[in-house]
Amino acid sequence: MQQEQEQQASAQQAQPQPQQAQETSQDMQQEHIRNIAIIAHVDHGKTTLVDKLLKAAGAFRDNQQVQERILDSNDQERERGITILAKNISIEYQGIKINIIDTPGHADFGGEVERVLKMADAALLLVDAAEGPMPQTRFVLQHAIAANLKILLVINKVDKPAANPENAINQSLDLMMDLGAKDDQLEFTMEHVIYASASLGFARMHPTDTNNDMYPLLNMIVNELPAPNGNPEAPLAMQCVTIDHSDYVGRIGVGRIYAGTIHTGDKIAVVKNDGTSQVATVKQLFTFDYLGKKECSAVGAGDIGAVVGIDHTDIGDVYTSIDNPVHLEPIEIDQPTLSVVFEASTSPLVGRDGDIVGARQLKERLFNEAENNVTMHIEELPDKTGVSVAGRGVLHLSVLMEQMRREGYEFQVGRPQVLFKKDENGSRLEPIEQAVVECSGEYAGKVIEVFGNVGGTMINMKTGKTHTHLDFKIPTRGIMGLKTRVMNVTHGDAVFYHTFLEYGPYAGDISARANGAMISMSTEKAVAYALGTLQDRGTLFIEPGCECYEGMLVGERSRPGDLVVNIAKTKSLGNQRSSTADIAVQLTPPKTFTLEEALEYIIDDELVEVTPLHIRMRKRILNDTERRKWRVRHGMVDK
């Protein structure tokens, strides 16, 4: 024990300077390895492209049945059509191992992107031939350029009728210049362009080529993209960038070996981001092999490995030699911008859908999530009434909620709250987002007005032949619920994207939901006759036969102010019949909400109830009398 403590102390004191570590790790290139990341906007086809690369490299038998978008193994990824978790795979082509990192395209999962790009030496920038680079392309590409990666441009979906590859190339180069790309990065990208259709399975060097395979792209990866630097004989330098978790072995640190070789059974120093260190023993080692991991006895410089045996390992940990420790720069992760409070459900209908409803079980599940998901900050409230979960956006938070409801949990959450910061002068700062809307020119004025009402500022406007492109800067507070309003004023003819931009000055008060809610006065099933009388007063959220309870939101009123309604009212029976007595009540289909839409819709005194089968909105205080008293105490109404 004393010997280990002495070794630990020496590991803390004898760390070389970063420059020394850099010189050590760049002694030679590992020509048998390529590490590449694939970055793109949501739905531009990067996961489909990886499918085709796997098939071209012989990952599957000729007669093997393989599902589409095989890397999107998570149920939510397949349903939403987006990549949520970054994944590592590898293929072998011409005797060279190609480690491929499939990154999320959505800004809410930026914590995944910025870390895994540290394992890559180059990136495939996938751009839709018709749409060109989009806002979330900008978000991921910015990190790749900052990491000084070589960018190989792949113009995808060139088979689209509206495809314009030349325009997509020009827009991509303009974007790279805007993001501060160096001259050598721009030159490399201009000289290395691939024209592809991932869905049809071809990649071509020139638009006029006729080959129907992916080999031109694989050849360019092998022949043109840089090999990783690193000396296998140097002192060990490996940094953990992703945490995997196993119920059997605990945390698994995944990262790239920048120098040296790590072996099973090695005693290594684990240096934390704060400079402290500990001694650990490597119990198991894995490398990535096609779609899985393969256990091995050693992983050398330039490769990506997974290490078992480091207790409480975390993002940014450096695994290095005890005798000759190497210092690497800490990994900084963008901080969360929104938080919600998870509470045990207090609904009158609690327990009807889910099996797990207790506060203790909810807390345990959330703290287990904290073990794997380092991009979220999870902590119990001081008064023990709930657990605060902070993430990068509403989608980021809703993915966790959706996963938990599928596991059988019932819980309630409040309105997402923006996380403010203070600058050096003590002034309040809030997260600002870049929002982009493309719509018909006739609706542009209405869109600008909608953004102006919630603190948005237009920074750019481009008018095309058929559509107008609008760029805005807007506080994150104003983004919540904005997509629905934009779609309403454009009659559904709009494309809306947004991504985190920066922290900026506080923009002042932003008006909440303009209209009031219709609130059920009793716990009963909804009746068609009652709903028929209510639909003239606003928009309904429920249909006949729906289980409702006192305090539950059943619709939106067409004017400000909440309205308590009777959803179980029936028609009075008389001794006479009219000619229209038997005609059924004609009801408009109710408005339904996804989990993200419900989170954005509610206001501060409301909650979203989440169960395996239902998403309901309700008032925090269910009883109308108690609710009125609470509003009086807080000065929200006259006494």
Task: Show Cβ contacts of residue 384 under 8 Å, excluding neighbours closer than 6 positions.
Answer: none
Dist CA 338 CA 335 (whole Å): 10
Q: Name the nearest CA neighbour of 404 among 99, 612, 205.
A: 612
| Residue owning tokens 């004393």 | 2
- The total of other beta-carbon atoms located within 10 Å of residue 368's CB is 12
157 is in an annotated binding site: yes
Minimal CA–CA distance to 285: which of 314, 267, 306? 306
Q: What is the DSSP letter of 552?
A: B
- Closest Cα partner for 606 from 624, 623, 619, 593? 619
Neighbours of 79 (CB within 10 A): 10
Residue 159 marked as a ligand binder: yes
Among 463, 499, 587, which residue's Cα sits nearest to residue 108? Answer: 499
* Residue 43 marked in a binding site: yes
Q: Which residues contact residue 519 at a Cβ distance below 8 angstroms, ignoring those fewer than 6 apart?
A: 551, 552, 553, 554, 562, 563, 564, 565, 619, 624
Question: Looking at residue 38, what DSSP letter applies?
Answer: E
Token pair in block for residue 452? 């102006």
41 labeled part of a ligand binding site: no
CA distances (Å), origin 611, targets 57, 356, 380, 407, 413? 43, 10, 21, 10, 11
| Nearby residues of 94 by Cβ (< 8 Å), 6 or more positions away | 222
318 assigned to a ligand binding site? no
Return the bridge partners of 383, or none.
Answer: none
46 among annotated binding-site residues: yes
Q: Measuring CA to CA, which residue among 175, 181, 192, 188 is closest to residue 145?
A: 181
Only one residue has tokens 């009728």, namely 161
First-last CA distance in the chain:
70
Closest C-alpha among 397, 383, 421, 364 to residue 109:
397
170 annotated as a binding-site residue: no
75 appears as a binding residue in the annotation: no
Are 129 and 157 spatial neighbours (Cβ–Cβ below 8 Å)?
Answer: yes
Task: Count CB atoms within 10 A of the CB of residue 19.
Answer: 9
* Angstrom distance (rounded) from CA 104 to CA 195: 22
Closest CA to 433 of 82, 81, 106: 106
Q: Is 350 marked within a binding site?
A: no
- Rounded distance, CA 261 to CA 257, Å? 7
CB neighbour burial string for 124-161, b if at least 16 within 10 angstroms, e if fewer: bbbbbbbbbbbbbbbbbbbbbbeeebbbbbbbbbbeee
As given in the structure block, the two tokens for residue 277 are: 């260190």
What beta strand segments (E) does 41-95 contain? 87-93
Q: Do residues 609 and 351 make contact, with C-beta atoms less than 8 angstroms apart?
A: no
Query: Is 156 annotated as contributing to ligand binding?
Result: yes
Half-sphere exposure of 125 (CA within 13 A, CB side): 33
Please give the full DSSP string across 8-45, using - where no structure is assigned. HHHHHH-PPPHHHHHHHHTS-B-TTEEEEEEEE-TTSS
Residue from 280, 477, 284 nearest 393 by CA: 477
Which residue reads 């979220």 in tokens? Answer: 376
**Known binding site: residues?**
43-48, 156-159
Binding residues for GTP, by number, are 43-48, 156-159
